[in-house]
Amino acid sequence: MLSLARQKSLEQQIDIEWHEHDISDIKELNLVKEGEEGFDVITCGSALILLPDPVPAVKHWLSLFKPGGVLMTDIQSRNSNIVMSIFASIGEDVGESLKWDMNQFQRIEDLGTLVEGAGFKVEKLWESEVFRMEEIETRDGKGKVMFEEAVRSLMFAGFGKEGVKEKAKEAFVNRLKEIGGVERGVRQETRFWMCIARKPF
């Protein structure tokens, strides 16, 4: 992703400094030099939920802002990603788990509470319109294909490990049928919970 970003910025002749680093704590990058006020804007798109512990990360970002600086972040709304929800629900039964906590954001207010707890003042909190809509079939064959595609991703690769995969595949297919029925299928509507917050003056 960074290679592509660098290439695009070069093509468009935009001077951007790119770093590969853990966003939870970027002090060692020394991005805010002594005597500087800090950042005007920090964005974190669709990644907050992937942090092992987002609270200290957001608190750290507060220290990088100048007074009045704006944080823009989002997470997928609950049940917006059926594949992710299924893996979260079958994890305990198959002896595997997601690499992030799906339970920390059950309501849109949980996002606002986290950001305010880090010291920001929330200015706007809302649910987006439908970003993507998909009709998902729940036949046996389709469920197996979905599972195989998913475990090729690093996000769900643990469910494709030897000793886990067959049990996880069966559980995945059965859970998909429970959600949508054998014949009906299910509609996935991807929405996001959005937050704009500001560092107090």
Domain count, the chain: 1
**How confident is the model over 146-182, as pLDDT tens digits?**
999 999 998 999 999 999 999 999 999 999 988 886 5
**How confident is the model over 18-64, as pLDDT tens digits?**
999 999 888 889 998 888 889 999 999 989 988 888 999 999 999 99
Closest CA to 151 of 140, 138, 167: 167
Domain that holds residue 76: 2-198
- The Cα 179–Cα 182 span in angstroms is 9
pLDDT of 74 > 70? The answer is yes
Residue type, 184: R
Single pTM value for the model: 0.83
In whole angstroms, how large is the CA radius of gyration of the chain? 20
| CATH number of domain containing 18 | 3.40.50.150
Residue type, 122: V
